[in-house]
A and B are shown apart, each in its own frame.
Chain A
């Protein structure tokens, strides 16, 4: 079945540091890939998505590239801010899996001054 593996947290960075959160996936078909973010006390929000190989999703300075050859969708940001502190979830949606979202376990990011 479909699965998503992402790096364990928490990840603690200083403000303006470079961020990478690794995500790899297993899927039977050709999935769409997503990053969702959950800020403290809030619901899940879509951060960015990519629907086919080599697509790059980007939003709020975050970006991720759909790499079919390595089955990866790593999240990056060049300079994090304290306000980026949240839990980040990698997910996939596969038509052969009924289009439901399959999530990774989440990575908590803490950004300190």
Chain B
């Protein structure tokens, strides 16, 4: 079974530029998550989708971050404009159905963003 795919793996941009990340979850997984992992910290949830609807975006900086999951499959996360503090690894994860508390989340390899 193919895992969670993410692209690009690395991205370097200057502050105030925009950037987009793409995620393809495991086939059949209803729930998709985007996490931000700053160096030396644990991942922090940015947004959670159930199919193509948003379940939780309480920690998403909505003035600059946006995300969508059209058709309930692939997802894109965008930052516009980027700030220095957005430098981090952006992780995408998916699970069969996030409504079940012990449902395992499968993580992609992440996109490492550097903002100069």
Q: Chain A interface (Cβ within 8 Å of chain B)? A: 4, 31-32, 36, 42-46, 49, 51, 89, 91, 93-95, 98-106
- B98 at the A/B interface (Cβ < 8 Å)? yes
Contact A93 B101 (CB under 8 A): yes
Do residues B104 and A98 form an inter-chain contact, with CB atoms below 8 A? no
Write the residues of chain B forming the contact surface with A, with a CB cutoff of 8 angstroms.
Answer: 3-4, 33, 35, 40-45, 48, 55-56, 91, 93, 98-110
Q: Which of the residues B3, B44, B55, B99 comes within 8 Å of A103, measured between beta carbons?
A: B44
State the main secondary structure of chain B at its contact with A.
Answer: loop
Known: A32-B102, A45-B107. 15 other contacts (CB 8 A): A32-B101, A36-B107, A42-B109, A43-B91, A43-B109, A44-B91, A44-B93, A49-B102, A89-B42, A91-B42, A93-B103, A94-B101, A101-B33, A101-B93, A105-B42
Q: Which residue of A lies closest to B95 (CB)?
A: A99
Q: Which residues of B contact A44 (CB under 8 A)?
A: 43, 91, 93, 107
10 A-B pairs within 8 Å (CB atoms) are namely A43-B4, A49-B104, A91-B42, A98-B48, A98-B55, A98-B56, A100-B48, A101-B105, A103-B42, A104-B42
Least CB distance, B108 to chain A, in whole angstroms: 6
Residues from chain A with a CB closer than 8 A to the CB of B43 are 44, 89, 101, 103
